[in-house]
Amino acid sequence: MKEYIEERVLGTANYIIESKATVRDAAKKFGISKSTVHKDITERLSQLNPALASQARAVLDVNKSERHIRGGMATKEKYLHM
């Protein structure tokens, strides 16, 4: 794996863990696609640092389990402002 990819993967993982960020937040922060973030965390990170991969995966699993709640809250806010 190229060095710049390794740096991106580790930086993205640390950002997700420290800020409890979603895939979308991490993609915006690093200027990459959501697909790239997902592939970095689920595939590439496990090769580089398995312990860090499990921590990042745990954050993403929590975010995934809560996404329907966030979507409902966003819709509620939208209609309150209309």
Residue 21, domain extent: 3-80
Model-level pTM? 0.82
Q: Looking at the 3D structure of the chain, how many domains does it have?
A: 1
CA dist., res. 46 & res. 57, Å (int): 10
CB 61 within 8 A of CB 22: no
More confident of the two residues 73 and 19 = 19
**Cα 47 from chain centroid (whole Å):** 17
Is 70 a residue whose pLDDT tops 80?
no
Q: Kindly report, residue by residue over 20-67, the tens digit of the pLDDT.
A: 999 999 999 999 999 999 999 999 999 999 999 999 999 999 998 887
